[in-house]
Amino acid sequence: MADHVLAIDQGTTSTRAIVFDATATIVGVAQREHEQIFPRAGWVEHDPVEIWTSTEWVISACLSRAGIEASDIAAVGVTNQRETAIVWDRRTGRPVHNAIVWQDTRTQPRLDEIAAADGAGTFRFAEETGLPLATYFSASKIAWILDHVPGARAAAARGDLLFGTPDTWVVWNLTGGARGGIHVTDVTNASRTLLMDLVTLDWSDDLLEVWGIPRAMMPQVRSSSEVVGTSQLPDVLHGVPIAGILGDQQAAAFGQAAFHAGESKNTYGTGNFLLVNTGTDIVRSDSGLITTVAYRREGEAAHYALEGSIAVTGSLVQWLRDNLGIIQRSEDVETLAATVDDNGGAYFVPAFSGLFAPYWRPDARGALVGLTRYVNKAHIARAALESTAFQTRDVIDAVVADTGRALDELRVDGGMTRDDLLMQFQADILGIPVVRPKVVETTALGAAYAAGLATGVWGDLDELRAHWREDVRFEPRMPDDERERRYRMWRKAVSKSLDWVDDDARALMGTEGD
């Protein structure tokens, strides 16, 4: 009997396939990076065709490395970068434009217009969607494609175009593409579009009208854990049920066994994302967090969460590598940062796409402050790592303000958590233990769990919780007065990054009028 689960993790910088056995142990991994396309300042794109060909490759390579075949796979789970928008022709399967990535800021002028239209401001649709008006989410990206690709709006009106976040694109291609592919998403990804009603868990006709998006473009919204179709990928994965879909951060929470109200996790990836489960209650934030869907199992009520979304953390390390060249590999940042005892007085605010939670300031831009002749590249590397920890404290303080309850510990996952220096500083700046599990690839694990639950590989949530194992617990060592002094300096640095984007800045960046 098939008792393995394949997770496809379509992320911001790469696509991975990981096979787990029935004990939730990894038995095979394959990964391939894809190109980051930056046509202009503030624009970030991916090639959807490259994403799909990478997906095909990692599936085949992963199964080969695991030494198993399709007949050994009980189910496939898919997880993905959430708000990235792809629009393609249903007849040909060809994208009409590159994917517009969640980090992209080109649609800010349109958002400003909508926010100002009736004086409601940034939180005009927050009651219905749980989200502020921000370039982060999908709706404005879809509208931009329809408005800027010749013939796209007319094709959409005819019903020829489909929209999806990367989960939808991958599942559509897995299930046949232009030859009968299934056009679906799940509630977690749908909740990131600015188009879904949190109560009905379906697309809002009123919001679709605001953005001028035909309902026929939108995928069917399904549960996070249910069989939605079967793979038609020849030879490698043909006939295997696709039974789990979760946005990457919700998948990470599921993989961390944060199933119930009050349970949380923080993922350290391209950005950082703190999720706190609020159970079946929709909890509104007064402190700059967003309300999102945590997961939904077939036939059950949805679980919701508060989320603190941080745009730039791991991608700052990539920026040090690719743009400045001060490290050769991303993992070298810890070695370099460890050659100095502190940041030398330098603070790095990586507001490359503005600041997300808890500030929601699209006018902010990156700032490296406190520089003296003493500061060297090691101090900059350390300041870059510390910025991740400081931003995490920002959103955890917001959680405490909203819930009235401090966190006892912080469960962490994602690639950056392998960096012991960062994890220790995180514990120090929070003043609570930081706990790293044995399996840090919890995003893929969560997608596998969702798929395995729907197909009988695992019986219930308690069985999944029993798989969780602690690896390392980082205890805070920094004195309280030093912790607060450093955090005050961080907040001062953040203040220097604000109010940067104005008409002059837009003109100099070549984005005025877009």
- Annotated binding-site positions for glycerol: 82-83, 136, 248-249
**SS3 readout for 229-294:** EECCCCCCCCCCEEEEEEEHHHHHHHHCCCCCCCCEEEEECCCEEEEEEEECCCCCCCCCCEEEEE
Strands (E), 370-474: 410-413, 434-437, 470-474
**Quick check: helix, strand or coil at residue 207?**
helix
Rounded distance between C-alpha atoms, residue 498 and residue 365, angstroms: 7
Phi first, then psi, for residue 171 (nearest 5°) are -65, -40
The structure tokens listed for 434 are: 């930081």
Binding site members for ADP:
12, 16, 270, 314, 415
Find the DSSP H helices in 6-132.
Answer: 48-66, 108-117, 126-129
User: Of 266, 269, 294, 105, whose CA–CA distance to 192 is shortest?
Assistant: 294
Binding-site residues for ATP, please? 12-14, 270, 314, 318, 415
| Alpha carbon distance 54, 8 (integer Å) | 11
Annotated binding-site ranges for sn-glycerol 3-phosphate = 12, 82-83, 136, 248
Element housing 26 (H / E): strand 26-33
Nearest to 282 by CA among 255, 312, 303: 303
What whole-number distance in Å separates Cα of residue 486 and Cα of residue 128?
38
Sign of CA dihedral 501, 504, 508, 512: positive
**Which tokens in the block code for residue 447?**
């997608």
Contact (CB, 8 A) for 137 and 83:
yes
Q: CA-to-CA distance for 200 and 195, rounded, in angstroms?
A: 12
Burial of 450 (0-12, 13-18, 19+ CB in 10 A): buried
Count how many residues are written for the chain: 514
Binding residues are 12-14, 16, 82-83, 136, 248-249, 270, 314, 318, 415
- Note if the bond before 132 is cis, omega within 30 degrees: no
Strands (E), 82-130: 86-89, 99-100
Q: Could you tell me if 187 and 104 are in contact, meaning their C-beta atoms sit under 8 angstroms apart?
A: no
Which residues neighbour 444 within 8 Å (Cβ) at sequence distance 6 or greater? Answer: 7, 9, 16, 18, 20, 77, 79, 251, 255
With residues binned 3-state (H G I as helix, E B as strand, rest as coil), the percentages for the chain, rounded to 5, are 35, 25, 40
Cβ neighbors of 487 (< 8 A, separation 6 or more) are 390, 393, 429
